[in-house]
Amino acid sequence: MDKLKLMVDMDDVLYENAFQRIIEEYLGRKITKEEVDRNGYYLQNLVENKDDFFNYFFQKNMYDYANIVKNSQEVLKELVGMYDVYILTAYTFVERRNSCGDILKHKYDRLINDYPFLDPHNFCFVNDKSVVKSDIMIDDRLRNLTGANLKLLFSSFHNQNYPDYYLEAKGVKKVNDWEEIGKILIKK
């Protein structure tokens, strides 16, 4: 029998805080909860001079700033034996579409280093995730979960304000961490 396809987002699901840390370094201060609530996913909106910020940003490797999300390695390693696991991740910024090639390399290198049990042939770099169909998807952005039967919204700084009834109406289950994902997906 064929394994079910499991698509897993990279940023804010496997790695966290990278982009926010670079913005905070650039601004010289911490970003407040109110600023996150106001700007949501697009933290670059906190920066007045986007050209200057992206000049700064593209001199960095964002994944040098990233933390591995707790328990993601252990749980994902178990899931690889049960599912066809794909990493589905975006890599472009509308502000600088022509400068994003290095981000692909940085993502690939970090995944290979931190998740050596994943098949690099299953790394998918795409911004519009709606074109992908899967049995199960794990992502931190609600709009990216359209192409799955089981939709798991990974809790992140920018998706805290969705009421349960709203997620239920969209057929989405919110998960707070990788332990919770393990309880849902690991079959004993």
Within a domain: residue 79?
Answer: yes
pLDDT(38) > 70:
yes
Structure tokens at 147: 């192409």
Handedness of CA 135, 136, 141, 142 (dihedral sign): positive
CATH number of the domain that residue 132 is part of? 3.40.50.1000
Taking only the tens place, the pLDDT of each residue in 113-166 is: 999 999 999 999 988 888 899 999 999 999 999 989 999 999 998 888 899 999
**Of residues 39 and 116, which shows the higher confidence score?**
116
**Directed axis angle between helix 50-57 and helix 18-27, to 10°?**
120
User: What total number of domains does the chain contain?
Assistant: 1
Q: At what angle do helices 178-185 and 72-80 cross, to 10 degrees?
A: 20
* pLDDT tens column, 67-85: 999 999 999 999 999 999 9
Structure tokens at 26: 């650039």
Nearest CA-CA partner of 150 in 123, 125, 170, 165: 170
pLDDT class for 40, splitting at 50, 70, 90?
A: low
Compute the C-alpha angle 66/139/149, nearest 5°: 160
Q: Is residue 62 part of a domain?
A: no
- Average pLDDT on 161-175 reads 96
Q: What is the pLDDT of residue 41?
A: 64
Q: H helices within the chain, ranges in order?
A: 18-27, 33-39, 50-57, 72-80, 101-114, 164-169, 178-185
Question: Is the separation of the CB atoms in 147 and 129 below 8 Å?
Answer: yes
Average pLDDT, the chain: 91
Q: For 67, phi and psi rounded to 5 degrees?
A: -95, 145
- 32 vs 88, higher pLDDT: 88
8 A C-beta contact, residue 175 and residue 138: yes
- Domain-located, residue 32: no
The more confidently predicted of residues 90 and 182 is: 182
Measured from the Cβ of residue 102, the count of other Cβ atoms closer than 10 Å reads: 14
Q: Looking at the domain assignment, is residue 78 inside a domain? A: yes
Percent of all residues in the chain with a pLDDT value above 70, rounded to a whole number: 95
Indicate the pLDDT class of residue 188, thresholds 50, 70 and 90: low
Range of the domain at 143: 5-15+67-185
* Residue environment code for 103-124, b if the CB has 16+ CB neighbours within 10 A, otherwise e: beebbbebbeeebeebeeebbe
Asked if residue 164 is part of any domain, the answer here is yes
Question: With 80 as the cut, is the pLDDT of residue 45 above it?
Answer: no
Answer yes or no: is 135 within a domain: yes
